[in-house]
Amino acid sequence: MKHLLLGNEAIAQGAIDAGLSGVYAYPGTPSTEITEYIQTSKLAQELNIHSTWSVNEKTAMEAALGMSYTGKRSMVVMKHVGLNVASDVFMNMSVSGINGGLVVVVADDPSMHSSQNEQDSRFYGKFAMVPILEPTNQQEAYDMMHHAFDFSEDTMLPVLLRMVTRLSHSRSGVEFKSRRTQNSIHLPEDTSRFALLPMNAKKQFEKLVEKKSLLMEYSEHSSLNELKLSEDKDIGIIACGIAYNYVMENISEDASFYSTLKISQYPLPKEKIKKLYKHCHKILIMEEGYPVVEELLHNYFDDNDKIKGKLSGDLPLTGELNPTIVANALGIFQNAAKSIPEIVSNRPPQLCEGCGHTDLFNTINALIPEIGNKNVFGDIGCYALGTLPPLNTINTLIDMGASITMAKGAADAGLENAIAVIGDSTFTHSGMTGLLDAVYENSPITIIISDNSAIAMTGAQESSAVGRLHNICLGIGVHPDHLKTMIPLRKNHDQNVELLRNELSHKGLSVIISERPCVRLSRDQKEDIKSKIAALS
Amino acid sequence: MNSMKTNIILSGVGGQGILTIAAVLDTAALSENIYIKQSEVHGMSQRGGAVQSHVRISDKEIYSDLIPEGKADLIISVEPMELLRYIPFLNKNGWLITDSNPFINTTNYPDKEALYEQIRKYPLHLIIDATEIAKNIGNSKVANMVLLGAASTIIPLSEESLLNAIKTLFQHKSEKIITLNLQAFFEGKKIAKAHSHFAIDK
């Protein structure tokens, strides 16, 4: 029987069936549904699989490593930019190695549907010298999880599984395998490899470097990397992950004519690539994201004119692939597509009707004539939409937590009336450390924590900040006289403007917590939040 | 659409419920044991932005999750301007079905009559006041099922499996909600059948 699953859900079910004991994650599009699936899975509950959200990707990955240390299988899930946050532990746990199987699932977002860059996680995998798996479809994503955990335990390395938006958010029928039981606790025989003092780290790093040839051997024999040499000697197609689908969409009817190498496991199978290179006059590389494979191939061979892809200009260097782009690169004739009728206007995303962020921005906007229109530093979340017309409140959006620290740096430079706007969950994710910097120097900035009691942009997940913001700020050392609260409602507009004006005039640090629950929260969620806050006080 | 390879684009604005139409198609296709791929938009665009879903059903393996340009057999839209946004995907014999009611959340939304005029340039179109029909049945929210009902006349999935899919999808809701959705489906179908292009038995 087939089950209809998103690529993300296939990953989640695959992990459950491969004997997962815990998933750790912070929500982020396009990765969120992996963890949500496990959180709502009855089976996962019966199996007592840990699935509570973590505060950020770094704490998530460290917790996953801790679970792996005990011998159990763990998974950590994030979007591509989340791996930047977790990169410290990611780079080091390949050196220590793992104990129970550990799979790092990272969902890249080529075309930046919901992100601030197009970074390609395969670079990180190569950087950390760990094996990378890249599924082409939902069934393969499911099947890969069994392989990924086994492979991780075989090599004692974390395995990076790279997803992309279009696979994460596409459904198809998936058949399940039988379920493997969870590992029991078995602590590492020798714990010194987890204590990366230089003397241990040196030994471990040598082992990691030595593993490369083993990993290449695995890739060479992996059925995930399938080489087909055919009559056609003109183009040899290397198709990685989801790009394989776009190739097959175009050539499936005469697939036997083309010479192809499908890549779903890295490091690259060098021998298979050499065979294809020898067989064909040119190599065309189809890969979603950066030209990772294409660059590597430039080091493999002398005649780089034979290697075609993004660097050669045969495919675009930015944005995601699609069947049409791939058809053009393959030289398959396409009827010119109709264009979008001119009458159609853009419809950018916007804050929901009745959203508290809008009232907050109206409050700030009332003071912009006095303070200037380039003083507001923003952050990652729904409120980033305050950058767009008609609000035009926010000037910057860089990474999680940067509103506070950029405002501080600007104030250090002499900018007056610097304002940082940050959401409750972004604040606990990466804002608290920056707040301590600002507290330590009593920086003359006004931080507004726009608290909607949810991780709203990704679908109103639970925020660990709920009910704790006030005490966190006091604990970090914000002066109680300059820790204020406002309710962003239209009826409070005038008093909120006055409150903000007062704090801006304070020549030191102020924090204003702007409290109003997300309009997307269900009644049950709101009740749940209320009882959590009550339990805390 | 005689062959068992159909590409459908569903379009609308984030929050308008196109994924419910997608879910019915998915469930019905799965029950008929044919291949299905359905991509959807999650994330920032869901906040009142333009969203679409690509639904592909076939009796052969489907590779791409995305429909290639010029290969959509049908676009179903819950909003007229969003229908036109996906015209580059429409094949030359493609069908267009849309709710006539604009969803206006921008300052430069075009004149709706001009939108209809543009849609009428494509021979196989059907502009329905699905929202009004849904209201008359009892709930404007079932406008999407009116559109699906209309589209059912040309989609190669049996009526039985589509109806069962609706029942399955709303099984946790009240009997009244299931009935409303089924009624909406039949109303939509009736309108399509009365329309010359659609009055062809599949």
Q: What are the tens digits of pLDDT across the range A217-239? A: 999 999 999 999 998 899 999 99
Q: Is the dihedral of CA A174, A61, A318, B22 positive or negative?
A: positive
Predicted confidence (pLDDT) per residue in A373-384, tens digit: 999 999 999 999
Per the CB < 8 A criterion, the answer to whether A186 and A26 are in contact is no
Q: What percent of chain A has pLDDT over 70?
A: 100
CB contact under 8 A, B42 and A32: yes
Residue A109 has phi, psi (to 5 degrees) of: -130, 65
Residue A211 has pLDDT above 80, yes or no: yes
Average confidence (pLDDT) over A64-70: 98
Match domain A356-536 to its CATH number in 1.10.645.10, 3.30.1130.10, 3.40.50.970, 3.30.70.1070. Answer: 3.40.50.970
Integer Cα distance of A9 and B18 in angstroms: 20
Indicate the range of A73-77, B15-19, B32-36 predicted with least confidence: B15-19
Which residues of chain A have a CB within 8 Å of the CB of B87? 338-341
Predicted confidence (pLDDT) per residue in A475-491, tens digit: 999 999 999 999 999 99
Integer Cα distance of B171 and B132 in angstroms: 25
Average confidence (pLDDT) over A403-409: 98
Match domain B5-198 to its CATH number in 3.40.50.1970, 3.40.920.10, 3.30.70.1400, 2.60.40.10. Answer: 3.40.920.10
Where are the domains positioned within chain A? 2-221, 226-330, 356-536
Chain A: give the shortest CA distance to residue B88, in Å: 5
Cα–Cα separations (whole angstroms), residue A153 to A88, A102, A251, A464: 22, 8, 37, 32
Which class does domain A2-221 fall in? alpha beta
For residue B24, the model assigns a pLDDT of: 97
- For an interface test with A, the pick among B44, B106, B108, B113 (most A C-beta atoms closer than 10 Å) comes out as B44
Which class does domain A226-330 fall in? alpha beta
**A-to-B residue pairs, Cβ atoms closer than 8 angstroms:** 146
* Buried-state track A26-49, b at ≥16 Cβ within 10 A, e below 16: bbbbbbbbbbbbbbebeebeebeb
For residue B197, the model assigns a pLDDT of: 64
- Chain B residue with CA closest to A348: the answer is B49
Whether omega before A267 lies within 30 degrees of 0, making that bond cis, reads yes
Local confidence band at A427 (pLDDT 50, 70, 90 cut-offs): very high
Average confidence (pLDDT) over A183-196: 97
Average confidence (pLDDT) over A256-268: 96
The interface pTM score, or ipTM, of the predicted complex is 0.94
Task: Retrieve residue A516's tokens.
Answer: 């109003």
Integer Cα distance of B92 and A329 in angstroms: 24
* Amino acid identity, position A268: L
Residue labelled with tokens 């505060």: A55
Cβ atoms within 10 A of the Cβ of A374, count?
12
* A226-330 and A356-536 share one fold: yes
Interface of A with B in 491-530 (CB under 8 A): none
Average confidence (pLDDT) over B148-170: 96
Integer Cα distance of A111 and A114 in angstroms: 9
Per the CB < 8 A criterion, the answer to whether A244 and A221 are in contact is no
Q: First and final CA of chain A: distance in angstroms? A: 50
Residue B3 has pLDDT above 60, yes or no: no
For residue B47, the model assigns a pLDDT of: 83
Residue labelled with tokens 């992309």: A164
Task: Retrieve residue B12's tokens.
Answer: 């609308």
pTM of the model: 0.96
| Interface membership of A343 toward B (CB under 8 Å) | yes
Integer Cα distance of A73 and A235 in angstroms: 42
Predicted confidence (pLDDT) per residue in A5-53, tens digit: 999 999 999 999 999 999 999 999 999 999 999 999 999 999 999 999 9
Residue B198 has pLDDT above 80, yes or no: no
**3-state helix/strand/coil string of A142-204:** HHHHHHHHHHHHHHCCCEEEEEEHHHHCEEEEEECCCCCCCCCCCCCCCHHHHCCCHHHHHHH
Task: Quote the mean pLDDT of chain B.
Answer: 93
Whether omega before A135 lies within 30 degrees of 0, making that bond cis, reads no
For residue A251, the model assigns a pLDDT of: 95
Predicted confidence (pLDDT) per residue in A332-362, tens digit: 988 888 999 999 999 999 999 999 999 999 9
Beta-ladder partners of B77:
B11, B98
Task: Quote the mean pLDDT of chain A.
Answer: 96
Which residues lie closer than 8 Å to A286 by C-beta, 6 or more apart?
A237, A238, A239, A240, A243, A244, A246, A247, A309, A315, A321, A326, A329
Average confidence (pLDDT) over B43-71: 93
Q: Which of B72, B112, B114, B113 minimizes the C-alpha distance to B96?
A: B72
Q: Which of A177, A122, A123 minimizes the C-alpha distance to A150?
A: A177
Residue B202 has pLDDT above 90, yes or no: no
Between B195 and B117, whose confidence is greater? B117
* Amino acid identity, position A451: D
| Interface membership of A252 toward B (CB under 8 Å) | yes
Residue labelled with tokens 């840990």: A50
Indicate the range of A70-74, A301-305, A363-367 predicted with least confidence: A301-305
Q: What percent of chain A has pLDDT over 90?
A: 95
Report helix, strand or coil for A319.
coil
CB contact under 8 A, B65 and A242: yes
CB contact under 8 A, B37 and A171: yes
For residue B200, the model assigns a pLDDT of: 45
CB contact under 8 A, A347 and B48: yes
* B118 closest CB neighbour out of A173, A343, A390: A343
For residue A170, the model assigns a pLDDT of: 98
- For an interface test with B, the pick among A5, A171, A343, A346 (most B C-beta atoms closer than 10 Å) comes out as A171
Residue A237 has phi, psi (to 5 degrees) of: -100, 125
Local confidence band at B2 (pLDDT 50, 70, 90 cut-offs): very low
Residue B1 has pLDDT above 80, yes or no: no
CB contact under 8 A, B27 and A323: no
Beta-ladder partners of A307:
A283
- For an interface test with B, the pick among A137, A344, A380, A519 (most B C-beta atoms closer than 10 Å) comes out as A344
Per the CB < 8 A criterion, the answer to whether A381 and A425 are in contact is yes
Where are the domains positioned within chain B? 5-198
Predicted confidence (pLDDT) per residue in A93-133, tens digit: 999 999 999 999 999 999 999 999 999 999 999 999 999 99
